[in-house]
């Protein structure tokens, strides 16, 4: 399988050169149909239009054709993070304060493997969440979180309404 840190190091300067910020680089699909997923956004709008997807996809394809950093055949997918976006960086938890999220904790923390609720604040590297069901305040160190993502709610839909009706979805290219 590909080295995600090395791929991210190659892709990040390409994204930054286009005024984009990487959200996630991930390889999934196993050996039968691997896909390299690249999520990016414009820092000012947190969105990505189709032209941004296409330009970043071309830049990655050109560089990867030259360097060939992935030995096996794969599909390249460049997309926006979407409304119910993954929370991949510590600052994402602060940026999306007030919205609902689901956090998975692979090794567990204080008896919990998952927490779902409202993102309240960030205390250094600790995410504070008020749980949906019990309204309990939970503090989770960022270091124990495996994955986090926003949950689709009316408030999130309203806050992330597209700037235009020509927003982006996904550009996918067989490699």
Q: Where are the domains of the chain?
A: 4-82+161-174, 90-159
Tokens in use for 148? 């986090």
The Cβ of residue 134 has, within 10 Å, a number of other Cβ atoms equal to 9
> Is the per-residue pLDDT at 94 higher than 60?
yes
Q: Per CATH, the architecture of 90-159 is what?
A: Roll (2.30)
Same fold, 4-82+161-174 and 90-159: no
Asked if the model's pLDDT at residue 170 lies above 70, the reply is no
pLDDT at 168: 45
Pairing of strands 75-79, 35-41: parallel
pTM of the full structure? 0.82
User: Mean pLDDT over residues 76-92, rounded?
Assistant: 93
Q: What is the mean pLDDT of residues 120-145?
A: 95
What is the reported pLDDT for 12?
97
Helix (H, G, I), strand (E, B) or coil at 44: coil
Note the pLDDT of residue 162: 66
Using an 8 Å Cβ cutoff, are 46 and 168 in contact?
Answer: no
CATH of 4-82+161-174, one of 1.10.1840.10, 3.40.50.10320, 3.30.300.70, 3.30.365.10: 3.30.300.70
Ramachandran bin of 75, using left for φ above 0, alpha for ψ from -120 to 50, beta for the remaining angles: beta
Tokens of 117: 């609720």
Whole-angstrom CA distances from 33 to 3, 27, 76, 82, 165 are 17, 10, 11, 23, 32
What's residue 64's pLDDT?
96
């Amino acid at each position: 399988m590909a080295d995600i840190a090395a791929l991210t190091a190659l892709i990040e300067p390409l994204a930054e050169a286009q005024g984009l910020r990487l959200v996630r680089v991930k390889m999934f699909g196993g050996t039968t149909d691997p896909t390299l997923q690249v999520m990016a956004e414009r820092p000012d709008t947190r969105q990505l239009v189709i032209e941004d997807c296409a330009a970043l996809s071309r830049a990655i394809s050109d560089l990867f054709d030259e360097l060939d950093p992935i030995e096996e055949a794969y599909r390249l997918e460049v997309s926006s993070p979407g409304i119910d976006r993954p929370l991949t960086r510590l600052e994402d938890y602060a940026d999306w304060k007030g919205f609902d999220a689901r956090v998975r904790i692979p090794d567990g923390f204080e008896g919990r493997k998952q927490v779902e609720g409202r993102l309240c604040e960030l205390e250094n590297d600790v995410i504070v969440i008020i749980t949906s069901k019990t309204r309990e305040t939970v503090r989770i160190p960022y270091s124990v979180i495996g994955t986090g993502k926003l949950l689709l709610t009316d408030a999130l839909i309203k806050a992330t309404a597209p700037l235009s009706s020509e927003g982006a979805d996904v550009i996918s290219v067989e490699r």
